[in-house]
Amino acid sequence: KFVQMVLNGELVSTMITGDGGLGKTHTVLEELKKAGLEEVDADLIEELEEGEVANVSGDYVIIKGYATPKALYATLYENRNRLIIFDDCDSILMDPTALNILKGALDSYNVRRISWLSKGFVDDGLPRSFEFKGRVIFISNMSPDKIDKAVKSRTILTDLFMTLKDKIERMRFILPNILPNIAMDVKEA
């Protein structure tokens, strides 16, 4: 429901945490599919110059892996009107500079302005500040108690950490929807 609220623009952000293998990413991707949203072509983005990403068609972008604070700033700028999904990109949830950038992006104010006021030796083509109108979904295996309180206060958090019994029940629930080409008895094994 929280993912749907982000997709509908009712929420700026939601964060889903829990152990691996529970179907967090699968569930989010299914909701995107149901909503008819289109992913930005990641291969095309790699070929573009800085600042050209905003002109590419697509409703959302998925960021996986590692991101520096400057790369986070650039990603937010380039996708300032889109949905951004950070999937297992926990580096941004642990870096103090990245956290400050996220606080601006996730604020509850009508205008969410983000700034990068550090000059480098190379002109990166990024503005010193911009208005972020996008939305964010975080998917993480991190325990909620390790996530910055100010960031948590700006998002709706769903904690899916479960007991072993809960995990097995959840897996049985989502199993029919995963790898539909494979026989159920094979998946159960």
What does the pLDDT look like over 170-188, one tens digit per residue?
788 888 888 889 998 898 8
What does the pLDDT look like over 56-88, one tens digit per residue?
788 999 999 999 999 999 999 999 999 999 999
Whole-number pLDDT of residue 134: 95
pTM reported for the whole predicted model: 0.82
pLDDT < 50: residue spans in the chain: none
Whole-number pLDDT of residue 124: 75
Whole-number pLDDT of residue 160: 84
Whole-number pLDDT of residue 174: 82
| DSSP per residue, the chain | -HHHHHHTTS-SEEEEE--TTSSHHHHHHHHHHHTT--B--HHHHHHSPTT-GGGS--SEEEEES---HHHHHHHHHHTTTSEEEEES-GGGGT-HHHHHHHHHHH-SSSS-EEE-----SS-----SEEE---EEEEEE-S-GGGS-HHHHTTSEEEE----HHHHHHHHHHHGGGS-TTS-HHHHH-
